Structure 1
Amino acid sequence: MPHLKWQVACNKLRNSRLFLKLLEAVLKTGNRMNDGTYRGGAQAFKLDTLLKLSDVKGTDGKTTLLHFVVQEIIRSEGIRAVRTARESQSLSSLKTDDFADDFTEESEEHYRRLGLLVVSGLSNELEDVKKAAFIDADLLTSTVSKLSQSLIKNKRFLNAEMKSLDEDSEFNHVLANFVEVVEADISGLLEEEKKIMALVKSTADYFHGNAGKDEGLRLFAIVRDFLRMLDKACKEVRDAGLKRVRITKKEAPSVSSQQSTEIPFISNSCLEFSEAR
């Protein structure tokens, strides 16, 4: 049922540690970029901002702010993955065949690769959110409304037109039972819709602050589109990493693979953030 899919999507979104960490990284990066402006020091932002991360490009014209955010968190995620794997003694379960080379487990490049695998997995983790984004809420509401109107007409027919017939007739009993069952079903649907929409809005409020009437269901579409962008960015970061490793091996094996934490973005590329909720 659509309502159940929305409920699952809300729970997955609110309980995703990695999604929340990405949001924190975006906020931190935005504040660093906007330092010294009225936008600096923000404590929240509209999730629509996520869809603008690929529009802000660095001075090289290629690296986007989303690339930078991904690069910012993959090392810490890699370290976390190694620690978790060691604790469960299942380090071998982390497949890095695509990145196989001479680096030791403790190297920066190794952490980055593992972290990139983790971040790349967010799209699969939030698969239910992507599915929820395709549900037509207006169509669903319209269908329930039409069912309610049809029920009202049937009740009127039963209470008016059928009065002239024998109340003990089989047809009368069948129609009365049908109306009773459908009325209970529709009441249940309306109640379920009310509860789920409240959950959706509270989830939107959790991320947006005081979300507007239509912000709730837009949340799923925003996350779906962002995950598409994230998948693309992760692939590009991965490809750039492989290229960097090949160049490093050929030209300067001693050069560190650790990335700079400076933000190479033009100063007027500010993102819209908001104050504390």
Structure 2
Amino acid sequence: MLSYWTSLTLSSVTLCSQGNELPRLLLETILRMKPTDEEEQKLRLYTGDCSQLGLAEQVMKALIDIPFAFKRIRALLFMSSLQEDASSLRESFLQLEAACGELKHRLFLKLLEAVLKTGNRLNDGTFRGGANAFKLDTLLKLSDVRGADGKTTLLHFVVQEIIRSEGVREARLAMESGRSPPFPGTSDDNCNESLQEDGNYYSNLGLKIVSGLSNELDNVKRVAALDADALSTSVANLRHELLKAKEFLNSDMAALKENSGFHRSLESFIEHAENETNFLLKEDKRLRLLVKRTIRYFHGNDEKDDGFRLFVIVRDVLVMLEKACKEVGASQKKATNKSQSNGNCNNPSSHSNPQEQQFPAVLDPHFDSSDSKTDR
């Protein structure tokens, strides 16, 4: 402990004259130790043996003799923390921009389209039927709408509809791109026949794709944990610290006419900090506009600015979707095992899916959510 305070005393004097960098934690500790006016006056008047003072008092005694010591230390703290704080903000901004792009992922838009079609069929003949859009909050209610068995939810039904077309789409793309066909020996000539004959296989293939949507929207989940106002406040705080350091350099330090290492370091740093904070301010403004445009894309012009709530909603939906996919997969496996035990495994797709029976009002032979024009 003694050696720590001794080195702190020496380092404090050195840094205030030479501008040497010290750890951020150490600089913060020194600032918290700043004496009151009364305490400072007592230290200045003390003429005895400094070794008789407490260790903290010895440090303060050394510092108060240096002109603007605590302003120097605050400037040094800004110098030592800017790179770390700016890097963190840059990373958050990159995640935010990526998240806005991920929300237009083909598969996510396909999910929204399937929900819209299903909702319109359920509300056919009512004032809610024929809708051409809905707010994403509605997705959170999909698990509340249950089928005839009281267990199967509307989200299960929507997942079931999507995975069929996704499985077929993936199989077609595989053959068109020359990748391995879904089944050994499957050729283009009998592809369409195969797609119809083994719907169970393609449902499993599609289920794997839909289950992976959460990974595709990884930045959305990251941004959901951020605070929009906190990001802007952090940028503003960096700018504020820069202005204080700049004022200190141009007023107090200029009056001293000091040609020290600290003065030169601060002067050089401020030029760098000016460029960095200007960039962060522009990025903050640009990305706020991007978020607003993204919100309008999904909710229209009447939606108020509510931070990153859109990303929070989608994150929660992804949790629900992942759970629903696992349950649909378990249901499909159970149905397949039951079919095989009954000796009807030649054409598992010929049997009515149990989940279809839960929502007869939305069954439609023309239902197909694969016609989305948006791709990624």
Name the TM-score, length of structure 1 as normaliser. 0.83
Counterpart in the other structure of 1:257? 351
Alignment of 1:24-43 (within 5 A): 24-43=113-132
Partner of 1:126: 217
SS in 2 for 1:160: helix
CA apart distance, 1:231: 0.8
Structure 2 CA distance for partners of 1:157 and 1:177, relative to 1, 3 Å: same
Q: In structure 1, which of residues 150, 153, 161 is the aligned counterpart of residue 241 of structure 2?
A: 150
Would you say the 8 A contact 1:57–1:265 is kept in 2? no
Given the alignment of the two structures, is residue 111 of structure 1 paired with residue 202 of structure 2, yes or no?
yes
The alpha-carbon deviation at position 242 of structure 1 amounts to 1.0
**Corresponding letter in the other structure for 1:188:** F
Equivalent positions of 1:44-193 (< 5 A) are 44-91=133-180, 106-166=197-257, 171-193=262-284
Structure 1 residue 156: deviation in Å? 2.2
Structure 1 position 174, deviation (Å): 3.0
Structure with larger Rg? 2
Tell whether the 8 Å contact from 1:167 to 1:173 is kept in structure 2 after alignment: no
Q: Deviation per CA, 1:41-80, whole angstroms, max 9, x where unpaired? A: 1111111111111111112110101001011121111111
Counterpart for residue 296 of structure 2:
205
Distance change >3 Å, CA 221–CA 52, structure 1 → 2: same
Superposition TM-score, scaled by structure 2 size: 0.62
Q: What's the CA shift string for 1:182-212, capped at 9, x where partnerless?
A: 1221111000111112112211211121232
Compute the RMSD of aligned alpha carbons: 2.4
Q: Which amino acid aligns with 1:34?
A: N
Q: Which runs of 5+ in 2 are unaligned?
A: 1-90, 184-193, 363-376
* 1:238 maps to 2:332: no
Query: 1:79 & 1:237 partners in 2: Cα distance?
Result: 18
Question: Residue 109 and residue 258 in structure 1: after superposition, are their counterparts in 2 closer, same or farther (change >3 A)?
Answer: farther
Give aligned-pair identity as a percent.
53
Q: Which residue of 1 aligns with 2:88?
A: none
Separation of aligned partners in 1, 2:361 and 2:236: 51
CA distance in structure 1 between the partners assigned to 2:331 and 2:218 by the alignment: 26
Using the alignment, how far apart are the partners of 1:44 and 1:37 within structure 2?
Answer: 16
Q: How many residues are paired up? A: 255
Which segments of 5 or more consecutive residues in structure 1 lack a partner in the other structure?
95-103, 267-277
Partner-residue secondary structure (3-state), 2:103: helix
Report 1 or 2 for greater relative contact order, CA contacts < 8 Å, sequence distance ≥ 6: 1
Q: Is the 8 A contact 1:144 1:186 kept in 2?
A: yes
CA–CA separation in structure 2 for the residues paired with 1:86 and 1:170:
68
Distance in 1 between the 2:281 and 2:174 partners?
46
